[in-house]
Amino acid sequence: MARKMLVDEEMNQTNQEEAHYDFDLFVIGAGSGGVRAARFSANYGAKVGICELPFHPISSEVIGGVGGTCVIRGCVPKKILVYGAAFGSELEDARNYGWELNEKLDFNWKKLLHKKTDEIIRLNGIYKRLLSNAGVKLFEGEGKIVGPNEVEVTQLDGTKLSYSAKHILIATGSRAHRPPIPGQELGITSDEALSLEDLPKHAVVLGGGYIAVEFASIWRGLGANVDLFFRKELPLRGFDDEMRAVVARNLERRGINLHPQTNLTELIKTDNGIKVTTDHGEELIADVVLFATGRLPNSKRLNLEAVGVELDNTGAVKVDEYSRTRIPSVWAVGDVTNRMNLTPVALMEGTCFAKTVFGKEPSKPDYSHVPCAVFSIPPLSVVGLSEEQAIEQANGDVLVFTSTFNPMKNTVSGRQEKTVMKLVVDAETDKVLGASMCGPDAPEIMQGIAVALKCGATKAQFDSTVGIHPSAAEEFVTMRSVSRRITCRGKPKTNL
């Protein structure tokens, strides 16, 4: 259906007067998905305009910045802080390798913060250059859709610009949201957490998702006391249960206080800090309370309803498999569609959009075997199905191979922390359905495994690959014995 519409349109194209529109494409939002779609469309020869809110590390209805969440308030600054925090334990580990360090190591939060901000400003500049090099016209201001082929940009000084475009792409992303509890204004979201003036002494984190876990790891790594509250029994809902337990154990061992099945009910400002009350009646005093309780699509101020673009009940823009909304000339990619909220997925959606609309090659993003990583310390990375998903989807038996081992570095450092790896295999076809790992370098290791899984690699193909010795990754190709076999009814048959 979607494909047919496209073809029809392309056929009509020749009959239309091209000069009728100011732009072939106007993109609202210059984050990962928007910049990718704009650049690639321009490379296909389209005339492209893009608008983005002014730059600032903390986003709002009227603040954003070229580069978007990933570059300014997500992946990049987060990873920088994780690097900074990981040194804490790294340096401890150095002692048994013969290094003599001061008892108490000095860490300067302001320096890290300053350098992080410098880096994201640099990247913001690179993204702007990328756009101009591709011939994309950048407007600073807030974009709104006025009609199916009409956008309006409100500039900083309040003046409004109006442009017509053959296609409009919504790529406005999402923003962190706060739970509606009394005193919620005392808490912060991940935006502020990436730009705190001072390193917290005692941080409370609410949430069990990857953002919560990452910030808990960052602050703990830099020496803060951290209490992590989440609704479920384990953090990281949706990930493999066994790996969730591994992450929880690692966080705990590294000194984070876990509060499963606990919610926050109220925040009160006191002289000593923020008094946090839980639904179990506990009270804590913290200097920082982080809400990592999810993100909501930035779809409110775009005037979407007026032009007939449909939203779902979470506020996400509804799109078909080609990222097209209900209005044929309006499209949407990235977090604002709330499909799979990852930078590389937004890039894939943006690329497919450009191919579909301007490359004469209708392309659907492929959401199978999308790998991802949680940059907790140590990190978790997965691709494909979790054991639970595999059991649910399998026709026959599922074989689970696990390897739990002490990484070689720990044998001398003395750190008590096991790396865990797991392969989930379809017993009948021998296909590897899922891979996961929690331990140092997991995200780097998983990328290549993801290529293999994407192409339906079998366990036999893993086994036939020679290991790289000594590495952690070689465990993935040397898992000889089945840890357990699970019938399609989901009951363990043997446990060797």
Partner 1 sequence: MATTSFTAPKLSSPTFQTLCRNFPLSLPIPKTLSSFSFHLSPFLSRFHLHHHHYHPPRFHPRRLFAVRAESENGAEPIRHYDFDLFTIGAGSGGVRASRFAANFGASVAVCELPFSTISSETTGGVGGTCVLRGCVPKKLMVYASKYSHEFDESNGFGWKYDTEPKHDWSTLMANKNAELQRLTGIYKNILNKAGVTLIEGRGKIVDPHTVDVDGKLYTARNILISVGGRPFIPDIPGREYAIDSDAALDLPSKPEKVAIVGGGYIALEFAGIFNGLTSEVHVFIRQKKVLRGFDEEIRDFVGEQMALRGIQFHTEESPQAIVKSADGSLSLKTNKGTIEGFSHIMFATGRRPNTKNLGLESVGVKINKNGAIEVDEYSRTTVPSIWAVGDVTDRINLTPVALMEGAALAKTLFQNEPTKPDYRAVPSAVFSQPPIGQVGLTEEQAIKEYGDIDVYTANFRPLKATLSGLPDRVFMKLIVCAKTNKVIGLHMCGEDSAEIAQGFAVAVKAGLTKADFDATVGIHPTSAEEFVTMRSPTRKIRQSSESQGNMGHEAETAAGV
Interface of this chain with partner 1, residues 71 to 130, rule: CB under 8 A: 71, 75-76, 79-80, 83-84, 87, 90-91, 94, 96-102, 105-112, 115-116, 119, 122-123, 126-127, 130
Please check whether residue 321 is in contact with residue 337, taking contact to mean a CB–CB distance below 8 angstroms. Answer: no
Residue of 20, 114, 202, 469 marked catalytic: 469
Question: Of 331-390, which residues contact partner 1 (CB under 8 A)?
Answer: 342-345, 347-348, 366, 369-373, 381
- Closest contact distance (angstroms) between CB of 62 and partner 1 is 25
* DSSP notation for 394-453: -SS-EEEEEEEE--HHHHHH-----EEEEEEEETTT-BEEEEEEESTTHHHHHHHHHHHH
Give φ, ψ of 131 to 5 degrees. -65, -45
- The structure tokens listed for 397 are 């038996």
- Closest contact distance (angstroms) between CB of 475 and partner 1 is 9
d(C-alpha 260, C-alpha 242), whole Å: 16
Of the residues 152, 474, 487, 488, which one makes contact with partner 1 according to CB under 8 A: 474
327 is in an annotated binding site: no
67 is in an annotated binding site: no
- The structure tokens listed for 420 are 């865990």
d(C-alpha 370, C-alpha 375), whole Å: 16
Which letter does DSSP use for residue 153 in this model?
E
Kindly tell me which of 17 and 106 has the beta carbon lying closer to partner 1: 106
Amino acid at 439: G
Q: Which residues pair with 437 in a beta bridge?
A: 381, 421
Give 405-408 contacts, CB < 8 A, sequence gap 24+: 405/475, 407/439, 407/440, 407/472, 408/470, 408/472
Question: Of 13-32, which residues contact partner 1 (CB under 8 A)?
Answer: none
Question: Of 216-275, which residues contact partner 1 (CB under 8 A)?
Answer: none
- 259 assigned to active site: no
Nearest to 130 by CA among 53, 39, 24, 29: 39
Q: Is 451 in the site for partner 1 (CB under 8 A)?
A: yes
79 is in an annotated binding site: yes
Kindly tell me which of 20 and 99 has the beta carbon lying closer to partner 1: 99
- Closest contact distance (angstroms) between CB of 23 and partner 1 is 22
Total residues binding partner 1 (CB under 8 A) = 89
31 is in an annotated binding site: no
Of the residues 121, 245, 457, 488, which one makes contact with partner 1 according to CB under 8 A: 457
3-state secondary structure of 179: coil
Give φ, ψ of 385 to 5 degrees. -90, 150
Of the residues 1, 11, 19, 466, which one makes contact with partner 1 according to CB under 8 A: 466
Q: Is 441 in the site for partner 1 (CB under 8 A)?
A: yes
- Closest contact distance (angstroms) between CB of 104 and partner 1 is 9
Kindly tell me which of 112 and 168 has the beta carbon lying closer to partner 1: 112
213 is in an annotated binding site: yes
Binding residues: 79, 143, 172-174, 207-214, 294, 335
Q: Which residues are catalytic?
A: 469
